[in-house]
Amino acid sequence: MISLQNIRKSYHTDYNSLEVLKGIDLTINQGEFVSIMGSSGSGKSTLLNILGLLDEFDSGEYLLNDAAMDNLSQKQAAMYRNQLLGFVFQSFNLLNFKTAMENVALPLYYQKVDRKKRQALALDYLDRVGLKEWAHHLPTQLSGGQQQRVAIARSLITSPKVILADEPTGALDSKTSHDVMEIFKEVNREGITMIIVTHEEDIAKMTNRIIYLKDGLIEKEETGTISQT
């Protein structure tokens, strides 16, 4: 599903440049549930953003779904993001002026799906994360766990191949974190590739493959507690 070869990325500021990724080689197969760990500043978010086509890499090769992801135009990147990828963020990133249902339906708007149809689908997906009754609430009227479930529903609505989550449980208590992980596992069981960045050892343990980053390089890999189906 995903194949990285010698991916490098540096950030240039006015005075100096900082190499954040120093040659990442990584292959992730379809249906894997991967977690990325590492100390702060090790380049986890940068890697995930590159995987999500939100950021560009300097050199190396990135194949997503067998297609090379270099020199993409903004439009192409938007299309891939819309059709292949789903995002879940630590801070949920819901639009506060839209209801839960409208938030979930938004990715389909950019696929030009008809309004009625996308609202119906949004309700289905909200139902899947157990929030059907909350469909017409604004994000500010929901708890953190509920907001993250809305965000997960939003990431799922386009039936993506890969879901990328940057510290999805970072803002949640451990009970809600586990609920969210349960949803992720269920999603993963349907064959969707999951990649999450996390600081928490026990969260990482719930995945089937843990990748440790250190100073922009993959330090080591471990298998998690769940075995791949």
Partner 1 sequence: MFDLDNWQEIFNTIRKHKLRTGLTALGVFWGIFMLVFLMGAGKGLENGVTGLFGDRAKNSLYMGGRFTSKPYKGLAPGRSIRLTNEDVAAIRNRFEDEIAYVAPRMWMPSGEVTRNGMSAAFDVRGDGPDLIHIDPIKIIQGRFINQMDLREKRKVAVIGRGVRNVLFEKDEKPIGGYIQFKGVKYLVIGIAKSSRRGNNGMEDEKTIYIPLTTAQQVRNRPNSVGWFACAMHPNVKVSTVEHKIKDLLKERHSVAPNDLQAFWSENIEEEFAEVQGLFFGIRFLVWFVGIGSLLAGVIGVGNIMLIVVKERTKEIGIRKALGATPNSIVSMILLESVFLTTIAGYMGLAAGTVIVSLLNMAVGEGTEFYGNPEVDMGVAVTALIILIICGAITGLIPAMQASRVNPVVALKDE
Nearer to Mg ion, 92 or 125 (CB): 92
Q: How far is the CB of 5 from partner 1 (least distance, A)?
A: 22
Cα–Cα distance, 32 to 1 (Å, whole number): 9
Got the DSSP string for 138-163? -GGGS-HHHHHHHHHHHHHTT--SEE
Parallel, antiparallel or unpaired: strands 85-89 and 162-166: parallel
Residues 29-68, mask of contacts with partner 1 (x by CB under 8 A): --------------------x--x-xx-------------
Binds 116, which of Mg ion, ligand ATP, partner 1, none (CB < 5 to 8 A, cut-off by type)?
A: none
Q: Does 97 bind partner 1 (CB under 8 A)?
A: yes
Q: Does 11 bind partner 1 (CB under 8 A)?
A: no
Cα–Cα distance, 10 to 18 (Å, whole number): 5
**Which residues are near Mg ion by CB under 5 A?**
45
Q: How far is the CB of 221 from partner 1 (least distance, A)?
A: 26
Nearer to ligand ATP, 24 or 105 (CB): 24
Cα–Cα distance, 199 to 170 (Å, whole number): 8
Q: Which residue among 79, 144, 145, 215 contacts partner 1 (CB under 8 A)?
A: 79
| Residue 180: its H or E element | helix 174-189
Q: How far is the CB of 22 from partner 1 (least distance, A)?
A: 19
Parallel, antiparallel or unpaired: strands 193-197 and 33-38: parallel
Q: What is the DSSP letter of 228?
A: P
Nearer to ligand ATP, 13 or 227 (CB): 13
- For residue 139 the two structure tokens come to 């994000």
Helix axes 144-156, 100-109, angle to 10 degrees: 20
Residues that bind partner 1 (CB under 8 A): 49, 52, 54-55, 74-75, 78-79, 81-83, 87, 89-91, 93-95, 97-98, 102, 106-107, 109-112, 115, 154, 158
